[in-house]
Amino acid sequence: MPANFIDLDSHEKLEALFHASHTQPVIIFKHSTSCGISAGVYREVQAVDADVNLVVVQRNRDISNAISQLTGVRHESPQAIVLLNGSPVYQASHWDIEPTQISLKLN
């Protein structure tokens, strides 16, 4: 089954994700609509059989910045972060993003 992309476009949704990460892993994917690398990685992340919370950085820079502040992970795009118990257990950017590694963090 392909990834289910969910727009992460509010601080309330972000807060809910951090809360949810205390009971299950949560995936966040920062995506740039003007970057060829991001488009390629987006296609690869579609292989992850899970909900993927999508931050389009051109539309939601404030959410992207808040993620960086809350996780301590410097912003890059594309960027994938898996949260568990409110902390990143996986993070990678650009071509280092590996859908297989993301999936392993969900188990």
**62-78: per-residue pLDDT in tens?**
999 999 999 999 999 99
Name the CATH superfamily, with its identifier, for domain 4-104.
Glutaredoxin (3.40.30.10)
CA distance 47 to 42: 9
Instruction: Point out the residues of the chain with pLDDT beneath 50.
Output: none
Please state the pTM of the whole predicted model. 0.96
Q: What is the DSSP string of the chain?
A: ---EEEE--SHHHHHHHHHHTTTS-EEEEEE-TT-HHHHHHHHHHTTS-SEEEEEETTT-HHHHHHHHHHH-PPP-SSEEEEEETTEEEEEEEGGG--HHHHHHTT-
pLDDT score at 19 = 98
Q: Are 26 and 71 in contact (CB under 8 A)?
A: no
pLDDT score at 107 = 83
Q: What percent of the chain has pLDDT over 70?
A: 100
